[in-house]
Amino acid sequence: MVSVAILGGTGYTALELIKILLRHPQARIAALTTRQEGSPLVHAIHQSLYGRLTVKCEDLSPAEVAKRAEVVFCCLPHVASMEAVPTLLAGGAKVIDLSADYRLTDAAVYEKWYGHAHSDAARLKETVYGLPELWAERIPGQRLIANPGCYSSASILGLAPLLKTGWIEPTGIIIDAKSGLSGAGRTPRLGTLFAECNESIGAYSVGNKHRHLPEIEQILSDSCGVAVEAIFTPHLVPMDRGIIATIYARLKKPASDGQLLEVVRQFYAGRPFMRVVEHLPVTKDSANTNYCDITVRQARGQAIIIACLDNLIKGAAGVAVQNFNLMCGFEETDGLQV
């Protein structure tokens, strides 16, 4: 059994992490943190956990957390995360960082998109981006993993097969993505009140203003060896969870639906959480699971790729546990087979 902690235990991703870890055969939750006063029991924050876990959420320093846990899932907001991670690592803990702080390799790009100088820039180049479907072999032995963004995972997993095999052009890509509301976080805001966003869909960060774009382009460029350029438009959909990315990319040469599907299928052969399907997946198919469902069609010289996943699981807590499993030498699927 490995002792684990979650730094920042109050959000939706933390809740999903806790649920997965509760059924994980090798993990024991040793600490949960919050800045709330009074060390509330976890079910005072996540009512659904009543009777399932009796750990308190404490206002612990990163150094204290590192003493209690061998592996720390850092669910803090960006900036807060890079302030905690060096201490966690120095304290001997392994870290899976679910914030954006260690995803970009270039501190200048980070500063441009996040509006804050990076205080731990030296570590950026060496940190592995934890998307096991791209490079599972890089993850064992790491002490810090940058867990991918939810939109990023859907977009990258959708594009990588056809990009890496040279079927599609690396520029002029359109990623039109739609997410459930849990992706907008658990902090009360007008825009995510039920009566505001229910019965409504809207785009936001239109015009390449969303922070997952540089992450998508960097990882695809790195992994595919070409300079990838995309337009990324996210939307909020009135549902709790799920992302669908509808992706348009120009084919370099004519191809049938079947040929393209076969390329994707071979690319993900043996990957336990990738379901390459002939039918059109909907987000409900993969809701509450760690699966990513992908299919592809073509029209007028473009590939149309559909990728669906649960933003809180495959897009956050689930892939974090995949990374945890690979870092610790467990089965990649431990705790993740619902």
Subset of residues 292 to 311 that bind a second copy, contact rule: CB under 8 A: 293, 297-300, 302, 304, 306, 308
- Closest distance between a second copy and the C-beta of residue 15, in Å? 10
Q: How many Å apart are CA 126 and CA 105, to the nearest integer?
A: 8
Subset of residues 47 to 86 that bind a second copy, contact rule: CB under 8 A: 47-48, 50-51
Q: Which stretch binds a second copy (CB under 8 A): 34-42, 45-53, 68-76, 86-94?
A: 45-53
Subset of residues 197 to 216 that bind a second copy, contact rule: CB under 8 A: 197-204, 206-208
- Contact status: 253 vs a second copy (CB under 8 A): no
- Closest distance between a second copy and the C-beta of residue 127, in Å? 28
- Closest distance between a second copy and the C-beta of residue 284, in Å? 3
Helix (H, G, I), strand (E, B) or coil at 56: strand
Subset of residues 163 to 182 that bind a second copy, contact rule: CB under 8 A: 174, 176, 178, 180-182
x/- mask, a second copy, residues 5-24, rule CB under 8 A, reads: -------x------x---x-
Q: How many Å apart are CA 155 and CA 162, to the nearest integer?
A: 12
x/- mask, a second copy, residues 216-245, rule CB under 8 A, reads: -------------x-x-x-x-xxxxxx-x-
Amino acid at 264: V
Choosing from 57, 75, 150, 308, which is the catalytic residue?
Answer: 150
Classify the C-alpha dihedral 211-214-217-219 as positive or negative. Answer: negative
- Contact status: 143 vs a second copy (CB under 8 A): no
Q: What are the distances in angstroms from CA 125 to CA 78, 116, 140, 144, 238? A: 17, 18, 17, 12, 38
Size, binding site for a second copy by CB under 8 A: 73
**How is 137-189 classified by DSSP, letter by letter?**
GGSTT-SEEEPPPHHHHHHHHHHHHHHHTT-B-SSSEEEEEEE-GGGG-SS--
Say whether 74 is catalytic. no
- Contact status: 281 vs a second copy (CB under 8 A): yes
Q: What are the distances in angstroms from CA 319 to CA 17, 36, 80, 96, 113? A: 10, 27, 21, 10, 24
Query: Which residues are annotated as catalytic?
Result: 150
